[in-house]
Copies of this chain bind each other. A is one copy, B any other.
Amino acid sequence: MTNGLLIVFTGNGKGKTTAALGMAMRAAGHGLKVCCIQFIKGSWQYGELDAIKRFEGLIDLHVMGKGFTWKSENLEEDARLAREGWDLACTAIASGIYHTVVLDEFTYLLHYQMLEIDPCLQILTNRNPNQHVVITGRYAPEQLLAVADLVTEMRAVKHPLQAGIKAQKGIEF
């Protein structure tokens, strides 16, 4: 017996979205369909997007929201985008066509209370038991961790931005 897993990559270190991207491409490598929903616009950039294109028909990527976790000037608009993204996630989860659904940077929506957590957890835990869901982002709430099957905390031990090296193509984006 195998089971769909609810996987969370959290913590302040690098590699959360990258690991989710790797999982998406690995599943697609098996010929399995994946839906990726990116809740913070800009967190996946050209390298990812071009890589994803090589799996056309297998990985469906949706870019929702914008950089709404900080310096927001319009909280209502942000909450509306969050709900829209979550509605799309619910549709993808319910559709039954995806082996894996990736909710990239989704934790922020819960952390910043753009969404009510209980109904979200209900959808996540009542999904088809064979479907995998991968959630990334810092500040994963305890309630989410409690219902997850696999949680990895990416802990920043050392980060080059600390040393003043700027973000660069093929590494940070």
Name A's B-contacting residues (CB within 8 A): 1-3, 5, 7, 9-11, 13-23, 25-32, 46-55, 99-100, 132, 145, 148-160, 163, 165-166, 168-171, 173
Rounded to whole Å, the gap between the CB of A47 and the closest CB of chain B is 4
Closest B residue, CB atoms, query A27: B170
Contact A5 B160 (CB under 8 A): yes
Q: Which residues of B contact A31 (CB under 8 A)?
A: 50
The complex is assembled from copies of this chain, and their number is 2
Q: Which residues of B contact A155 (CB under 8 A)?
A: 11, 152-155
Contact B15 A29 (CB under 8 A): no
Rounded to whole Å, the gap between the CB of A75 and the closest CB of chain B is 31
Q: Which residues of B contact A169 (CB under 8 A)?
A: 2, 30, 32
Q: Which residues of B contact A46 (CB under 8 A)?
A: 29-30
The 4 closest A-B pairs by CB, nearest first: A29-B51, A29-B50, A22-B22, A18-B22
